[in-house]
Structure 1
Amino acid sequence: MPKKRGYHHGNLRQALVEAALQLIEAKGPTGFTLSEAAKEAGVTPAAVYRHFEGREDLIAEAARQGYEIFADLMQYAYETGQPSALAAFEATGRAYLAFARKYPGHYIAMFESGISVNRTPELATVAARARAVLETAASDLSQHIPAEKRPPASMFSAHIWAMSHGVVELFARNSPGTQSPFSPEDLLESGIGIYLRGLGLIKPDK
């Protein structure tokens, strides 16, 4: 019989989010129903509708909470990576990998569920906060490039975000048939290095 996690102490909304996260990990974002989430939380299906209008609203809340964790991790990585702008920038990339590994349910809800970051103002705000950390790191790193040749920080950071996401999807989440002889961290670090050398932000290898 499922445990009524959260229900006994009055936090049914969070219990449902945690149930959804477990189901997302096990079945994917479209592989479960609200009734299954209710059963996992130990309540009746009708109780779910006191907090969420449907499954997408429940997943959106899981994504919002994920972005809160993600933004905090990115900010911490950026701050502790100082005083070097390069070290701070590389630390944000590693934080992306670490988040995907430690919070797979949140990661899937955020990036693989099809839920728009603009679904709610709260979700949009926290997603923007996460992006802003990487944009700040990119801006810091590119300050010595002449302004007329400097890539926009939003484009620069988007490229690294896309690279990080690709490494996670292909090599950090045990996708079948995509084994690599290199660790995801090494793949990301070398990829970032090639990108930054192309921009003239770090010296080429001799």
Structure 2
Amino acid sequence: MGKRGYHHGNLRQALVEAALELIEEKGPTGFTLSEAAKQAGVTPAAVYRHFDGREDLIAEAARQGYEIFSDLMEYAYESGQPSALAAFEATGRAYLAFARKYPGHYIAMFESGISVNRSADLAAVANRSWGVLERAAADLSQHIPADRRPPASMFSAHIWALSHGVVELFARNSPGNRSPFPPEDLLETGIGVYLRGLGLIPGDK
């Protein structure tokens, strides 16, 4: 792992990028601020000009991750239109794609123990990403009478949990967990079974 430098006063971002590399390598609790400082090419004292401690640094990595994640989710949602089902399924695939492409951010967001309510900015961007999936869920259920319609927040949360489970077990090379099917296929078929059970899409004939 090579040392990162910083230029033109961009120390804060250099520290975030150093933390992301360390998170991927050692996990969110496996590195110190001193290691992040060394990775960024500065003294440990310099870190405290920008972050109160390691958790503050990880929270910023998570916030930036949610920004990327929200953009990907929104793009996936829009690319699936005008079909409500295609838009909904695209957001699930975007979850898998994000976890693969941005593992450091993913870990900071979902495995670090950092609460999304740690700061107003972090909570806002996290809610933005959840809102995309909930909006897709609401679109998908419009054909069901209101008195029989499951809450969009409920089944979007179920799909989020299903996506997260597929990522954790089969999309991140977890030791001992192998599937004979690609993670994308597992997620798509799982979503299909779930949505048919709720009556949100027609059953197979």
Q: State the TM-score bracket (shorter-chain normalisation).
A: over 0.9
Aligned to 2:20: 21
Contact 1:3 1:41 in 2 (8 A): yes
Contact 2:137 2:156 in 1 (8 A): yes
**How many angstroms does 1:200 deviate by?**
1.0
CA distance, structure 1, for counterparts of residue 150 and residue 50 of structure 2: 44
Contact 1:2 1:39 in 2 (8 A): no
CA distance, structure 2, for counterparts of residue 2 and residue 9 of structure 1: 20
CA distance, structure 2, for counterparts of residue 57 and residue 11 of structure 1: 17
Q: Which letter does structure 2 place at the counterpart of 1:161?
A: W
Aligned to 1:37: 36
CA distance, structure 2, for counterparts of residue 147 and residue 4 of structure 1: 55
User: Is the deviation greater in 97-106 or in 145-154?
Assistant: 145-154
Q: Which letter does structure 1 place at the counterpart of 2:190?
A: G
The superposition leaves residues 35-82 of structure 1 with CA deviations (integer Å, 9 ceiling, x where unpaired) of: 000000000000000000000000000000000000000000000111
Aligned to 1:139: 138
Q: Report runs of 4+ in structure 1 exceeding 3 Å deviation.
A: 1-4
**How many angstroms does 1:150 deviate by?**
0.8
Aligned residues: 205
CA distance, structure 2, for counterparts of residue 31 and residue 145 of structure 1: 48
Q: Which letter does structure 1 place at the counterpart of 2:25?
A: A
CA distance, structure 2, for counterparts of residue 96 and residue 105 of structure 1: 14
Gaps of 5+ in 2: none
CA distance, structure 2, for counterparts of residue 202 and residue 53 of structure 1: 49
**How many angstroms does 1:2 deviate by?**
5.4
Aligned to 1:122: 121
**How many angstroms does 1:10 deviate by?**
1.1
Contact 1:89 1:138 in 2 (8 A): yes
CA distance, structure 2, for counterparts of residue 173 and residue 3 of structure 1: 26
Q: Which letter does structure 1 place at the counterpart of 2:29?
A: T
Instruction: State the TM-score, normalized to the length of structure 1.
Output: 0.98
RMSD, matched Cα: 1.0
Contact 2:62 2:105 in 1 (8 A): yes
**How many angstroms does 1:4 deviate by?**
4.4
Aligned to 2:152: 153
